[in-house]
Amino acid sequence: MAHTVLGAAAGLMWLVLPGMTISTDVPVAARPNRPTARTVSADGDGPAADLVLPVAAVAGAGAIAGYGYLRRTGRRPRPRPRGPGTRPSLAELDGLAAGSLVEQDDHVRASREEVVFARAQLGDAAVEPFDRAVRDAATTLTDAFLARQEYDDRGPGDDRARRRLLDGVVGRCTASGRELDATAADFARLRALDEDAGRTAALRTAEARFRALAGRTPDTEALLAALTAHYGPAAVEPVTGYVEQVKDRLVFATSRLNRAHQSADLGDPGRAADHLRAAEGAIAQADVFLTAVDTHRADLDEAAATVPSALSGAETRLAEVRPDAASRADGTRSYVAHADGVLAAVRTGAAAGPHDPVDALRRIVRATAFLTGDGGGGDPGVLGAAAALVARVAVASAAGFVATHRGAVGAEARTRLAAARERLAAVPPDHLAADTLARRARELAERDVRTYGNPTADTAGRAAGVGGALLGGVLLGTGPDDGPPAGYGGPATQAARTRPAPAPLGGRGG
């Protein structure tokens, strides 16, 4: 009877809600299995009876919003296991593969971040086996992403071949997770965050890195303003807002470092370790944001210095093919005419004032691509160097964005990023394809973030930086305090970390 009533209520809400929520705003939806932050009273208690109806209402709305979100993004949950002897449909296998890629990519990224802190605390030799395990897991996962890219490229057709590719994706994700799970217990013993000595040393390491990043932030903010004035807003768009996100992550890190100390004082080492890992994750992402601005400055300067020589090199190459262009039947004449127009426009734009030199190089490289014919990777001249710079900038931009917004980014964006990296690392590299795939990855990731919306609508959550932590995948949003933090290990390790531990004798802590 209870199930029937609940189902009827959910169905009624589903029918009525669209008429009540028609809006021109960007939809805000909850990530599956990651509930929004809750405002908690200072003492952590309250009349339970007063909360029943509000919690039920929020749960119902969250379920509906989550359903809409799942329909719009690649962050699909894994289908429920079927009975023995049955095979999932191709659509179900597709969803399983997408969910596996997202889940395992998060595990690899979180593991890599925690290894960095362990290295700073314990040295290279101590963490080398775990660093190698992360590299091996990442290599296996890359193979899974490339299989997924092949699946996406294949399009409709042979279902048997498509199923084989998806099975390969799931199998490789599983293998990657097992590689991390196999070393997770040893890594936990190495860090010893549940022991006073290990946790105290780890806190010192995290706090030192926090102070260094806090000290860098004003200089990076000034640098971003200077870059905007010199090159124009379009040139710095890939890193616009990054300083604000640094501050948000550092606010969150401050809160969690303090709570780690408090939990330890209250005799709750497990919760202290969780707060410490959450702080480390936020600190790692603050570093990514700051480094991205510094790297982008260097890339803009290099591109600005390369544009004049790229223009001259392109004109020289065009002059070589222009005499025979009219007599060739392969469209060379129209390619030359188009390239001439692009080069003239780039010169005009550069002379007019602040401009984006990376975009100028991209236009030159693409307009003259018919001269190299191999994506620029085999061209030893200035055009090849320009193509390499453009591709490298695009891949770095997408990689930084995905890393710091992984709580919202789905499988499609991550797959395109992995494919872009593979094209960039190939011998010879395909710079044009790498640039195209990386830019598409960033577009898809930004779309996912817009769909995800603001995970904490309450002021308290925003003030504590919880929203950014959820968006960045630092917190997993599956329990109290918005869930456990991500950390070293695969799915089995994270599942064990997610299960609530018995309350300590000294109190809840944290």
Which pLDDT band holds residue 391 (cuts at 50, 70, 90)?
A: very high
* pLDDT at residue 18 tops 60: no
Distance, in Å, from the CA atom of 361 to the CA atom of 142, rounded to the nearest integer, reads 29
Q: Which of 31, 92, 90, 42 is nearest to 65 (CA)?
A: 31
Task: Give mean pLDDT, residues 179-194.
Answer: 97
Which pLDDT band holds residue 498 (cuts at 50, 70, 90)?
A: confident
Supply the pLDDT for residue 377.
66
Task: Give mean pLDDT, residues 144-164.
Answer: 91
Question: Secondary structure of 485-498 in the HEC alphabet?
Answer: ECCCCCHHHHHHHH
For the segment 101-118, what is each residue's pLDDT rounded down to a tens digit?
A: 999 999 999 999 999 999
Supply the pLDDT for residue 479.
66
Cis peptide before 84 (omega within 30 of 0): no
76 and 33 in contact (C-beta within 8 Å)?
no
Among 149-163, 165-179, 455-469, name the one with the lowest average pLDDT: 455-469
Percent of the chain with pLDDT over 70: 77
**Vertex 412, ends 62 and 476: CA angle to 5°?**
40
* pLDDT at residue 55 tops 50: no
Distance, in Å, from the CA atom of 240 to the CA atom of 293, rounded to the nearest integer, reads 9
Supply the pLDDT for residue 371.
87
321: Cα separation from own chain's centroid: 44
Task: Give mean pLDDT, residues 186-213.
Answer: 97
332-341 long-range contacts (CB < 8 A, ≥24 apart) are 332/370, 335/370, 338/367, 339/314, 339/367, 339/368, 339/370
Which pLDDT band holds residue 22 (cuts at 50, 70, 90)?
A: very low
Task: Give mean pLDDT, residues 389-404.
Answer: 98
Supply the pLDDT for residue 401.
98
* pLDDT at residue 451 tops 90: yes
Give this prediction's pTM.
0.81
* pLDDT at residue 461 tops 60: no
Among 124-138, 154-168, 308-322, 470-484, name the one with the lowest average pLDDT: 470-484
Among 213-222, 226-235, 450-459, name the one with the lowest average pLDDT: 450-459
Determine the straight-line distance between the first and last CA of the chain, rounded to whole angstroms.
40
Per the model's pLDDT, the better-predicted residue between 100 and 66 turns out to be 100
Per the model's pLDDT, the better-predicted residue between 376 and 55 turns out to be 376
Distance set, CA 119 to CA 124, 127, 131, 303, 489 (Å): 6, 6, 9, 34, 16
* pLDDT at residue 158 tops 50: yes
Supply the pLDDT for residue 331.
82
Supply the pLDDT for residue 282.
98
Distance, in Å, from the CA atom of 144 to the CA atom of 417, rounded to the nearest integer, reads 13
Per the model's pLDDT, the better-predicted residue between 44 and 222 turns out to be 222
509 and 267 in contact (C-beta within 8 Å)?
yes
Task: Give mean pLDDT, residues 3-20.
Answer: 39
Task: Give mean pLDDT, residues 224-241.
Answer: 97
* pLDDT at residue 77 tops 80: no
Supply the pLDDT for residue 499.
62
Residue that is written with structure tokens 């990386």 in the block:
438
Supply the pLDDT for residue 156.
73
Percent of the chain with pLDDT over 90: 70
For the segment 275-314, what is each residue's pLDDT rounded down to a tens digit?
A: 999 999 999 999 999 999 999 999 999 999 999 999 999 9
Task: Give mean pLDDT, residues 141-170.
Answer: 93
CB neighbour list of residue 363: distance below 8 Å, 6 or more residues apart: 342, 345, 346
* pLDDT at residue 240 tops 60: yes
* pLDDT at residue 3 tops 50: no
Supply the pLDDT for residue 458.
55
- Chain mean pLDDT for the chain: 83
Which pLDDT band holds residue 508 (cuts at 50, 70, 90)?
A: very low
